Amino acid sequence: MAQNLFEELQQKKERLATLAAKAREFGWIDESREKEIQEKLNNDVLTIGVIGQMKCGKSTFLNAFVFEDDVLPSATTPMTAALSVITYGEEKKIVAEFYTQDEWAEQKMQAARSIDEVAGNTLEESKIKAAKELVEKSVKLGGTLDSYLGKTQEDSFENLIEYVGADGKYISITKSVTIYYPKDYLKGVEIVDTPGFNDPIVSREERTKAFLKKADVVLLMLYAGRPFDATDRDILFKNVGQCGTGRVLIGINKYDIPYENGEDETAIKDYVKEQLRRACKECGDNLMMEILQNTEPIPLSAEMALLSELPMNKVMGHEAYAFAWKRACENFEISGQQQMREKSHINNLIAAIKDVVEKEKNEILFRKPLNAIIAAGNKKKTDTEKDIQECTMLINTLNKPDDELEEKQENLRKANRRLSKKIDALGDDIESAMRDLVRRGRNQLEDDVESACRKMDNIIDSLGRFSSPKKIQPQLDREVQTLISRTLKRDTEDYGRQAKSVVCGHITDSLSEVEDVLMRYVEAFNSREFVHAVEKEIKVDIEDNGMFQYDDDTWNSIGGLMANIFRHGKQVREMHEQVNEIRKEDVAKFLDTVFARKDEIISGVRNRIIEELVSPLQAKIDYIVENKNKREEELQSYQQKLDDLQKVKASIDEQLQTIGNIKE
């Protein structure tokens, strides 16, 4: 069986952990840095949210994608499924969380409502139906029901159906189920089956949305027999769009059924794409339009994928599986499990998930720590080469006559003064560029907010005299989410990129002048190689240490205020006042955090050139001039040091080769 996505992720983590351990062994990083990398690897979680209607084949898909076996039971009845989380455990078990007393009371109150009062609102209708169904099922618990409320219950894996099955004993009061499964590739992974958009319990629906907000991938599964109907549309536009997620994939499951009836899979995919385009246009939802514009729906058959994974004796010994196998073989002219896998098209969906995961995870979890480790090794090599240059230069210096020594001493003083002035000028140039960017950025962000607020004011003004403010709530929520998750975020990121580009340009220009000074005043020293190494180190710091990126805490505080601004709005006047609260918010705080660390750059340049190179050279030359009688002793000392440094450099070259082999 081919290696799956989760195994690849786990192996990447293990490889990076090995690299970090080797880097510490080589002295490239210290214990705290290794521990920091290890903790991030251990604590980081890959979250995949799977959403969709009942009977769209989510359970079968999860069996094929996650377990590669028929582990999960078939879906429960519509509207009653609990939120389920699949993750790693040393042994198979489940932990169920039950409703609290207040949540159960809320559910009973929802069940008492009449569907007629929400006629036409499909989501509200489904919530009332769900509540009625669950209250009816609760009779199975009889007088023991209250004893479970507000508690969690651990149970054996074999009893899973009692919590998620249509006729399960605890289905009526189960809020969520965590499934622990002993597959190493599930370490650091959670697959979330999120059916609860029709949930009669607000807190559980909010938990579903919270999972989707943090998900690396959100997969909407459609049923090919009726792809993207009104319920699918509600799930996508009325719920996912308000979660702030920007990563949505769409699978069209059971494509083999319409295919059997002569429908072309390309036509099925094109139909869904057209329905998505129309829905975006009709809703006027720019946020979802942007999320979905590059999303390519993927037809697949989760059942065929599962059949390709199960042992053939299990397939042929199961009446439903045997029938499905025979039908698929006839329809697609399949002769074996490998062809069954190919025709299922599940690999296309897994590849799409993998692509998103790699973009999300590689940047933060893998690329940055890996670059930092490699950079630490390269810096150690560069520092050693610099020490070799200095040592060679000092040996040459010790062999010079007195008058040349004094000239060299004066040259280093001149170099120090001139380099200090050039670094000060670099600081002034960067400061000026930042002031200009902050001014333009502030104006841009304030214009973004004003434009969004005008749209919200217009939405509020369009409310009829006798209409409920609840009618426009989704539109206002969408405008706020678009402002927070798209407009402000992207403009802030754009100014961060501009700042990075401008600063790197100034650094390149300034270091070119630094190189000229070093070449003129510091003889027998490879100025070009040294300056290029310094430039590379500084730019790696800028990239990998998050300079010129907005601060998440500031973003979340402002974004949280805006996202909740309309929660209690009831009257038109109050809503306009709340829009004005958004206008008053100082969105330029984003820019303050983006540019807050610019002084570190100047400090880094000064340290590398003045404090670590020129000043120590000055001190050594001063010592040599003042202690002429110790020249022979100093000469022998530096010659021994040079020999030792050459050995260190050879060792570092071997270490870099070792790290390179592990990296591959």
**Residue 421: φ, ψ to 5°:** -65, -40
Whether pLDDT at 545 is above 80: no
pLDDT, average across residues 133-151: 91
Pairing of β 189-193 and β 83-88: antiparallel
> Residues 519-544: what's their mean pLDDT?
82
Lowest mean pLDDT among 257-271, 498-512, 565-579: 565-579
pLDDT at res. 78: 43
The string over 491-528, giving b where at least 16 C-beta atoms fall within 10 Å of a residue's C-beta and e elsewhere, is bbeebbebbbebbbebbeebbebbbebbeebbeebbbe
pLDDT of residue 111: 87
Cβ of 545: how many Cβ atoms within 10 Å?
13
Beta bridge partners, 248, equal: 218
Place 637 in a pLDDT band, splitting at 50, 70 and 90: very high
Other residues' Cβ atoms within 10 Å of the Cβ of residue 640: 11
Give the highest mean pLDDT range of 94-98, 348-352, 435-439, 531-535.
94-98
For 40, residues 6+ apart whose C-beta sits below 8 A from its C-beta are 365, 369
Torsion over CA of 461, 289, 486 and 456, rounded to 10 degrees? 0
User: Could you tell me the pLDDT band of residue 1, with boundaries at 50, 70 and 90?
Assistant: very low
Strand, coil or helix: 380: helix
CB proximity list for 403: less than 8 A, separation 6 or greater: none
Residue 388, pLDDT score:
92
- Does this model's pTM top 0.85? My answer is no
Position 79 scores a pLDDT of: 43
Does the pLDDT of residue 554 top 80, yes or no? Answer: no
Name the average pLDDT for the chain.
83
Amino acid at 386: K
**Tens of pLDDT, residues 404-413:** 888 888 999 9
Question: What's the rounded mean pLDDT across residues 390-401?
Answer: 88
Rounded CA-CA distance 376/380 in Å is 6
